[in-house]
Amino acid sequence: MKKNNIILIGFMGVGKGTVARALVKASNMYAIDTDDLIESLENRAIKKIFATDGEAYFRNLEKKSALWLENSVENTIISTGGGFYKQENIQNIGTIIYLKSSFEGILKRIKKAPNAKNKLKKRPLLQNKKEALKLYNTRVLEYERVANIVVDVENRDLELIVKEILGKVNENN
């Protein structure tokens, strides 16, 4: 049976954390972030994990987190890292919402943020724009395939995005 969690997936920088925080204010749910879980588990930043132990090690930590979420978490908004959607048990964790935006829209969003430099520095896979675009193009189709609900977030008001998500989740349940 599908749990009553909302899982936000989408490319890095699309606004999963921002949307999660807004959803918390509009609902009676808690929010957690899979990257934050991993950083707590390892007591170090994602960037350091990638640099020291590599992507495969990081993906293994995501798997460990996904199993914990499935077994232990209810009534929660879960914002995920960009590659978390690949977890085999993701459908068992909750309703998957793909936050959709163009690659240009995501870059524009990050650059507009007050702490834009830090946001870019924090994302090891965004360092090379050409490679990041290639990754984006691969993932977009996969995000759509995995998602239960797709919500376009590009140039949209946060309040409207939240209303749309909550409305569609209620329709789905």
pLDDT digits (tens, 9 = 90+) for 6-39: 999 999 889 999 999 999 999 989 999 999 999 9
Q: Which residues 6+ apart lie within 8 Å of 61 measured at CB? A: 38, 41, 42, 49
Q: What is the pLDDT of residues 27-80, one digit of tens each?
A: 989 999 999 999 999 999 988 998 999 989 999 999 999 999 999 999 999 999
Q: What is the pLDDT of residue 119?
A: 57
Q: What is the pLDDT of residues 121-164, one digit of tens each?
A: 566 556 677 888 998 999 999 999 999 999 999 999 999 999 99
Query: Residue 54 belongs to what H/E stretch?
Result: helix 46-72
Q: What is the pLDDT of residues 81-118, one digit of tens each?
A: 888 999 999 999 999 999 999 999 988 887 776 665 66
Answer for the pair 58, 50: CB distance below 8 angstroms, yes or no: yes
Cα–Cα dist 115/117, whole Å: 6
Answer for the pair 95, 2: CB distance below 8 angstroms, yes or no: yes
